[in-house]
Structure 1
Amino acid sequence: MSKLEIKNLHVSVATEQGAKQILRGVDLTIQSGETHAVMGPNGSGKSTLAYSVAGHPKYEVTDGEILLDGENVLEMSVDERARAGLFLAMQYPVEVPGVSVSNFLRTAKTALSGEAPALRQWVGDLKTAMNNLRMDPDFTERNVNEGFSGGEKKRHEILQLELLKPKIAILDETDSGLDVDALKIVSEGVNRAKTNTDLGVLLITHYTRILRYIQPDFVHVFVAGKVAEQGGPELAERLEAEGYDRFLKANV
């Protein structure tokens, strides 16, 4: 069992006008096997939370703690956080020209485990994961995210998730830009990872459509850098019907 604890987290981001506070005291705990959906309007701090946990240098933690299995995540470099078991599926994955998907994935797996995976086992695992995600075998010879469609980028993120087997995965709007078929395939990949490794998931989304395929245990509503309300799956259904107006009016 693993546990990610976010305690009283305050985060600022550098802007041309100076430091701007985004997160204003966030408390969240995600354990193995749990799915937490974070929802909220644009600019509420959802992606800031994701990048702060992952260690993006643009975001400065000014107060609070992030602990993974009791270890201080804030004292870890980005690669140390990955080796400790944290994974971020980015909303906008970056292109890496000149690096093939095949080399990228095997290099990442080697870096995380400390040794290169056995070739025959690795090839089998890669083939199985790609088949499950309905990915063409030639995909591995393409450069990372270069010329990928939105759906291909998101499938590649979930391919990494399945192969790298983290303890806690943060999925930042993995549903954005996906058609219905791709959304189902990506969601199946997340559910497989949960089943196979007891993965803990922090799923950031604007919409409830992905929650029809990835059932959340908890739903947290982010407004103005704080958790304004939390509950079970029924809260997502209420947001679908009512929107965020009642939260926004309370913060005016």
Structure 2
Amino acid sequence: MLQITDLHAEIDGKPILKGLSLSINAGEVHAIMGPNGAGKSTLGYTLSGRPGYEVTGGSATFDGRDLLALLPHERAAAGLFLGFQYPVEIPGVSNLQFLRTALNAQRRLRGEAELSGGEFLKIARAQANTLGVDMEMLKRPVNVGFSGGEKKRNEMVQMGIIDPRLAILDETDSGLDIDALRTVGHGINTIMRRPDKAVLLITHYQRLLDYVKPDYVHVLAAGRIVRSGGPELALELEREGYVGVAA
């Protein structure tokens, strides 16, 4: 599904990714762990096409297409979803309005018919019910006045409605209490644990992996993946820290 080969990227002329290679197949969950400044968020932003992140070498293909040649909205329509560490607030725009607009924009780009208001609400209610989110929350402006846990639960509903093929989740466990973490883990498993989908979890800690069992764990240090293994590698990182494991 996703094939990254010798990827190099920089921000404001400063190299961050320095030859990163990674392969993710459909049906797999991969976790990337690493110290601050290793390039974890940069990887997510580069793959999603965020402005300011310049690719200087290597390649990335998604379902056989040159991902790096696509504009950000084209990457989203192709099935790529980026979950933010710090979801932004959008005053004056309700979650329902935002999500219906985003979903129909993607459907138009794929040549699919737009959803009517009734059709969209049916999908939104189903996703909200699955994740235990009150529909009143979706009528509020996007993330305005939300707690950290509410923002992340809201993002899980967004992911369920958009229904991507590949979800890149950037420290989605950041700032969550135990209950919110459990809800987010349930959302990821419910929405993305399917044979035709895949997940790339970017995290510092093992705790999210207690709820979302990864198939593979990778250590990212100094812009490259320096070790890969199974779920046991995350436990080793918890015990030993990054210094010994990433050396």
Same fold (TM over 0.5): yes
* Structure 2 residue 32 is the aligned partner of structure 1 residue 29: no
2:114 to 113, 116, 124: 116
1:142 to 126, 140, 146: 140
- Determine what percentage of the aligned residue pairs are the same residue: 51
Deviations 1:178-212 (A, max 9, x none): 11001111110110112457320000000000000
Aligned to 1:100: 94
Does structure 2 conserve the Cα–Cα contact (< 8 Å) formed by 1:39 and 1:220?
A: yes
Aligned to 2:187: 189
Distance in 2, matches of 1:145 and 1:221, equals 31
Instruction: Tell me how far 1:141 sits from its aligned partner.
Output: 1.7
Q: Give matches, 1:71-90, under 5 Å.
A: 71-90=65-84
Does structure 2 conserve the Cα–Cα contact (< 8 Å) formed by 1:27 and 1:227?
A: yes
Q: Give matches, 1:51-70, under 5 Å.
A: 51-70=45-64
- Indicate the SS of the match to 1:177: coil
Q: Which amino acid aligns with 2:23?
A: T
* Structure 2 residue 34 is the aligned partner of structure 1 residue 40: yes
CA-atom RMSD in angstroms: 1.3
Does structure 2 conserve the Cα–Cα contact (< 8 Å) formed by 1:106 and 1:116?
A: no
When normalised by structure 2's length, the TM-score is: 0.95
Does structure 1 conserve the Cα–Cα contact (< 8 Å) formed by 2:169 and 2:201?
A: yes
Distance in 1, matches of 2:191 and 2:167, equals 10
Does structure 1 conserve the Cα–Cα contact (< 8 Å) formed by 2:17 and 2:42?
A: yes
Q: Which amino acid aligns with 2:15?
A: Q
Does structure 2 conserve the Cα–Cα contact (< 8 Å) formed by 1:150 and 1:177?
A: yes
Aligned to 2:224: 226
Question: Which region of structure 1 is more displaced relative to structure 2, 209-218 or 88-97?
Answer: 88-97
Distance in 2, matches of 1:247 and 1:12, equals 25
- Indicate the SS of the match to 1:244: helix
Distance in 2, matches of 1:90 and 1:244, equals 23
Distance in 2, matches of 1:82 and 1:8, equals 23
Distance in 1, matches of 2:150 and 2:82, equals 17
Unaligned runs of 5+ in 2: none
Count of residues in Structure 1 that have an aligned counterpart in Structure 2 = 243
When normalised by structure 1's length, the TM-score is: 0.93
Aligned to 1:238: 236
Deviations 1:34-61 (A, max 9, x none): 0000000111000000000000111110
Does structure 1 conserve the Cα–Cα contact (< 8 Å) formed by 2:26 and 2:196?
A: yes
Aligned to 1:204: 202
Instruction: Tell me how far 1:247 sits from its aligned partner.
Output: 4.4
* Structure 2 residue 151 is the aligned partner of structure 1 residue 177: no
Deviations 1:82-127 (A, max 9, x none): 0111110011111111111010111111011123224433222211
Does structure 2 conserve the Cα–Cα contact (< 8 Å) formed by 1:11 and 1:63?
A: yes
Question: Which region of structure 1 is more displaced relative to structure 2, 117-126 or 166-175?
Answer: 117-126
